[in-house]
Amino acid sequence: MSTTAIKQAALHAFVRSGYDGTALSDIAQRVGLKTPSLYAHFQSKQELFLFTFEDVLREHTQAIQQVLEQCQQQCDTTEAILCRLLLEYCGGLQLGGERAAFLKRALLFPPRFLASGLKERFLLMEQQLSEPLTAVFEAALSAGQVRGWSVKELLTSYFYLMDGCFVQSYLYRRDAFDERLAAAWRIYWRGISR
């Protein structure tokens, strides 16, 4: 049995039942193994969960970086770059529905004893995104497209907008969410643009 198949079964189980509601026996049964055989691949449920989280977070980070690169190549204004990135981010990027649901659940409702570690990993991902977004905001400041806020303030406010949209996408139906996102973007952009 491959690690990929086990990870896929674990992802499904963690999305459906959460960390606490998932038993290794459920995962083993889903991939046609006996529970002790899982230990040849993962030492514990915690290790399997963290492995799955790292994999999904890495994929998520790469998707955001790829979209940002495409936006920088295809969009001619800071507004277009940031708006498109936000729309793609809130739309789940290239993460499948189950992978996006896993990430949301892990970050919004983490197992208590893993919460601080998951947050640290998420903040590292945010740091990776800070460099290219810093360049976008520096260019916008130089071009006079945004008000004279510091790059740190611009970056922080954009991450807050992304994080808020991340939570909102979990709470609202798609049509209501899209309406709320459009309003939030208009107000955000009017607040930072010249």
Note the pLDDT of residue 130: 92
What pLDDT, on the 0 to 100 scale, is given for residue 96?
Answer: 61
Query: Is 170 or 22 the better-scoring residue by pLDDT?
Result: 22
* Cα 23 from Cα 55, distance rounded (Å): 20
Q: Does domain 1-43 fall into CATH 1.10.10.60?
A: yes
Supply the DSSP string of 74-95, one letter for each residue: H--SHHHHHHHHHHHHHTTTTS
Provide the pLDDT for residue 95: 54
Per-residue pLDDT at 147 exceeds 60: yes
SS3 assignment, position 146: strand
User: Per-residue confidence at 26, pLDDT binned at 50, 70, 90?
Assistant: very high
Give dist(CA 101, CA 78) in Å, integer: 29
pLDDT given at position 46: 95
- Overall average pLDDT of the 67-73 stretch: 90
Which alpha helices (DSSP H) does 75-150 contain, by range?
78-90, 97-108, 115-142
Q: 43 by DSSP, 3-state: which?
A: coil
Q: What is the pLDDT of residue 172?
A: 86
Exposed (0-12), middle (13-18) or buried (19+): which is 10, by Cβ within 10 Å? buried
pLDDT of residue 170: 75
Average pLDDT, the chain: 90
pLDDT digits (tens, 9 = 90+) for 5-17: 999 999 999 999 9
Q: What is the CATH number of domain 45-192?
A: 1.10.357.10
Residue 92 confidence class, pLDDT cut points 50, 70, 90: low
* pTM, 2 dp: 0.81
For residue range 103-130, list pLDDT tens digits in order: 888 988 999 999 999 999 989 988 988 9
Domains of the chain, by residue range, sit at 1-43, 45-192
Domains 1-43 and 45-192 share a fold: no
- Confidence check: pLDDT of 73 > 80: yes
